[in-house]
């Protein structure tokens, strides 16, 4: 008789020990939580579900995070699309000389990681007469334009039917009403499905925490565009929405020394972009995939 | 770009005037950039006033190694211009360092004899040197047409001129009028993507 309760107690103790162990193991991440994840960040809602007040709180928190981690006072805004505006971009292959000034301007404007010299634009050096993008060279360092070559900058095509958006398992990336495909960097889980789905190699992954000296940080930032991205999330070209949604031209266009880039409102029949579409020989990359890009390439006569 | 912005001049003002003044192919008198807007609500388009139209490379450099320029007036205000030669070989005292590579043009194709600050159109009409844009447009019609439609020549400022002004490059901001082909340049640094480097850290996913 006296044997049974002992064994019962032993089993109870064993079970309790295992349970406590499992519980401790489950809760272990909470111990290191405060180091890189604040309560506010953990509880933050999806971009589309935040009230304006909640968004303001998030923006102020991100600003203070930037101040603490990068030593720079920045202004992060949430800029919404303008009604009646859908952005389009066109690039003149006849005049692009491959100088990479656009990629450089993007690097600086969008607070890219300095160590990788990252940019949302890759300039492909292509053989004249060929259209094999697999053979495009992005790392040339000789004087441009080189004989027998032409240059094709490639960035996010802001597809009307974006495959990157369709594959996102958590809806951290979506197409805005003005056509710009954006990422909520705080909602992204870093699975990189979108990077694999993009036929234009337009998405980048933050393998490491971006390194930027405080004095080089562009303080004019937006939540959905050029604020400094956390480690482990995807990023992409946003047509500089922190500029373009306020009516300004994108940084890559302003930097282009040959005027190869044309930007504007596709819904405005008198815009420059519409004139190009109506009067030039225009094409889109990989049209057969049905992505319906808002980024166009064209030739002069 | 800031160098271009340093000496701006209001050449073309509201779109109604400058942008629609020519529009080579379309004879319609004026094109409004935005149908829903009134012209007087639009911010101006300002065309740069590039240093090439009022000065020339001196051949010397400043203490920091940057090339310096001399205003045309520095010499031309003091001495009578020599007669314009028929070819570059005829330049014996001044301007010999310049490169001339602009089709079959000669000095008098554009310049006015005895007037350093004036140019003339093909029909003989004289213009100040600063209005060289119309001179270029005589022969380079397609480029001028594209320029008028914002698809040739760089710009800065606002795509939406209801919200802000725009600055346009002048032809000679980018093209040397005496040798218009843009010379080869060294590109900005290439990306250092992880997958581009043989010695880069390998991860199972790359």
Average pLDDT in the B46-66 region?
88
Name the more confident of A223 and B198: A223
pLDDT band for position B40 (cuts 50, 70, 90) = low
pLDDT for the residue numbered B196: 67
Contact B185 A269 (CB under 8 A): no
pLDDT for the residue numbered A4: 66
Taking contacts as CB-CB distances below 8 angstroms, the residues of chain A near B186 are 141, 143-144
Q: Is residue A118 part of a domain?
A: yes
Predicted-complex ipTM score: 0.83
State which residues form the domain around A5: 1-31
B184 touches A at CB < 8 Å:
yes
Taking contacts as CB-CB distances below 8 angstroms, the residues of chain A near B189 are 100, 104, 117
Same domain, yes or no, for A171 and A252? yes
Contact B192 A115 (CB under 8 A): yes
Q: How far is B18 from chain A (nearest CA, A)?
A: 15
Structural domain count, chain A: 2
Taking contacts as CB-CB distances below 8 angstroms, the residues of chain B near A247 are 158-160, 162-164
Q: Is residue A246 part of a domain?
A: yes
Taking contacts as CB-CB distances below 8 angstroms, the residues of chain A near B169 are 259
Q: How far is B78 from chain A (nearest CA, A)?
A: 36
pLDDT for the residue numbered B85: 84
Question: For chain B, what percent of residues have pLDDT higher than 90?
Answer: 36
Contact B155 A247 (CB under 8 A): no
Per residue in A22-79, pLDDT (tens digit) is 998 888 766 665 556 677 888 899 999 999 999 999 999 999 999 999 999 999 999 9
Q: Which sign does the torsion angle of CA A131, A132, A136, A142 carry?
A: negative
pLDDT for the residue numbered A3: 59
pLDDT for the residue numbered B57: 84
Same domain, yes or no, for A26 and A168? no
Contact A143 B186 (CB under 8 A): yes
- Most confidently predicted of A218-227, B1-10, B51-60, B103-112: A218-227
Kindly tell me the burial class for residue A230, based on how many C-beta atoms sit within 10 Å of its own C-beta (0-12, 13-18, 19 or more): buried
Contact B188 A265 (CB under 8 A): no
pLDDT band for position B171 (cuts 50, 70, 90) = very high
CATH number of the domain bearing residue A255:
3.30.70.20
Counted across chains A and B, CB pairs separated by less than 8 A come out at 127
Residue B10 has pLDDT above 70, yes or no: no
In this structure, how many other beta carbons lie within 10 angstroms of the beta carbon of residue B67? Answer: 10
Question: For chain A, what percent of residues have pLDDT higher than 90?
Answer: 89
What residues of chain A, 174 to 233, have a C-beta less than 8 Å from chain B?
Answer: 192, 207
Contact A263 B159 (CB under 8 A): yes
pLDDT for the residue numbered B77: 87
pTM of the model: 0.81
- Residue A106 tokens, joined: 């993007």
pLDDT for the residue numbered B41: 83
Same domain, yes or no, for A108 and A4? no
Q: Is residue A164 part of a domain?
A: yes
pLDDT band for position B84 (cuts 50, 70, 90) = confident
Q: d(Cα B185, Cα B182) in Å, to the nearest integer?
A: 9
Strands (E), chain A: 75-77, 87-92, 122-127, 149-154, 173-175, 181-183, 204-205, 220-222, 234-235, 261-265, 281-283, 295-299
Name the more confident of A18 and B197: A18
Contact B151 A117 (CB under 8 A): no
Q: d(Cα A106, Cα A240) in Å, to the nearest integer?
A: 9
Candidate from A86-95, A156-165, B102-111 with smallest mean pLDDT = B102-111
Q: Which sign does the torsion angle of CA A230, A236, A242, A245 carry?
A: negative
Same domain, yes or no, for A23 and A108? no
Residue B126 has pLDDT above 50, yes or no: yes
Q: Is residue A72 part of a domain?
A: no
Q: Which sign does the torsion angle of CA B44, A240, A251, A267 carry?
A: negative
Q: d(Cα A35, Cα A44) in Å, to the nearest integer?
A: 17
pLDDT for the residue numbered A82: 94
Residue A276 has pLDDT above 80, yes or no: yes
In this structure, how many other beta carbons lie within 10 angstroms of the beta carbon of residue A293? Answer: 23
A240 touches B at CB < 8 Å:
no
Question: For residue B20, what is the nearest residue in chain A, using CA coordinates?
Answer: A270
**How do A75-77 and A220-222 pair as beta strands?**
parallel
A104 touches B at CB < 8 Å:
yes
Residue B21 has pLDDT above 70, yes or no: no
Contact B155 A253 (CB under 8 A): yes
User: Alpha-carbon Rg of chain A, whole angstroms?
Assistant: 24
pLDDT band for position B39 (cuts 50, 70, 90) = low
pLDDT for the residue numbered B204: 46
B148 touches A at CB < 8 Å:
no
Backbone angles phi, psi at B89, to 5 degrees: -65, -25
pLDDT for the residue numbered A95: 92
């Amino acid at each position: 008789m006296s044997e049974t309760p002992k064994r019962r107690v032993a089993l109870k103790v064993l079970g309790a020990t295992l349970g406590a162990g499992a519980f401790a193991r489950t809760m272990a991440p909470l111990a290191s939580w405060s180091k890189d994840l604040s309560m506010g960040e953990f509880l933050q809602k999806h971009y589309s579900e935040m009230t304006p007040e909640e968004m303001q709180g998030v923006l102020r928190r991100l600003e203070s995070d930037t101040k603490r981690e990068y030593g720079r006072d920045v202004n992060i805004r949430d800029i919404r699309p303008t009604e009646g505006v859908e952005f389009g971009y066109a690039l003149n292959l006849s005049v692009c000389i491959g100088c990479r000034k656009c990629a450089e301007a993007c690097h600086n404007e969008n607070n890219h990681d300095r160590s990788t010299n990252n940019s949302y634009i890759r300039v492909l050096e292509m053989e004249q007469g060929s259209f094999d993008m697999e053979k495009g060279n992005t790392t040339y360092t000789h004087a441009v334009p080189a004989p027998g070559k032409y240059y094709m900058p490639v960035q996010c095509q802001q597809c009307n039917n974006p495959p990157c958006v369709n594959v996102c398992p958590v809806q951290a990336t979506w197409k805005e009403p003005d056509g710009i495909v954006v990422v909520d960097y705080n909602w992204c889980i870093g699975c990189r499905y979108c990077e694999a789905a993009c036929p234009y190699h337009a998405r980048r992954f933050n393998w490491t925490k971006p390194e930027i000296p405080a004095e080089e940080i562009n303080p004019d930032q937006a939540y959905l565009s050029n604020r400094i991205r956390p480690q482990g999330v995807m990023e992409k070209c946003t047509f500089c929405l922190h500029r373009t949604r306020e009516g300004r031209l994108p940084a890559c266009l302003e930097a282009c020394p040959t005027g190869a880039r044309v930007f504007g409102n596709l819904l405005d029949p008198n815009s420059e972009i519409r004139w190009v579409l109506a009067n030039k020989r225009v094409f889109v990359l990989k049209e057969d995939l049905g992505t319906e890009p808002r980024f166009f390439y064209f030739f002069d006569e | 770009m800031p160098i271009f912005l340093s000496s701006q001049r209001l050449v073309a003002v509201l779109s109604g005037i400058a942008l629609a003044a020519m529009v080579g192919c379309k004879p319609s008198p004026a094109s409004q950039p935005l149908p829903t807007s009134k012209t007087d609500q639009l911010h101006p388009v300002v065309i740069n006033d590039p240093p090439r139209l009022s000065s020339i490379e001196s051949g010397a450099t400043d203490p920091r190694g940057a090339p310096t320029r001399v205003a045309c007036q520095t010499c031309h205000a003091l001495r009578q211009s020599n007669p314009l030669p028929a070819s570059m070989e005829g330049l014996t005292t001044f301007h010999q360092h310049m490169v001339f590579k602009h089709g079959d043009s000669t000095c008098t194709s554009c310049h006015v004899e005895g007037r350093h600050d004036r140019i003339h159109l093909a029909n003989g009409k004289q213009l100040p040197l600063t209005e060289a844009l119309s001179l270029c447009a005589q022969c380079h019609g397609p480029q001028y047409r594209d320029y008028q439609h914002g698809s040739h020549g760089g710009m800065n400022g606002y795509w939406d001129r209801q919200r802000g002004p725009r600055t346009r490059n002048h032809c000679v901001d980018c093209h040397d009028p005496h040798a218009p082909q843009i010379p080869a340049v060294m590109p900005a640094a290439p990306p250092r993507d992880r997958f581009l480097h043989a010695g880069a850290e390998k991860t199972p996913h790359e």
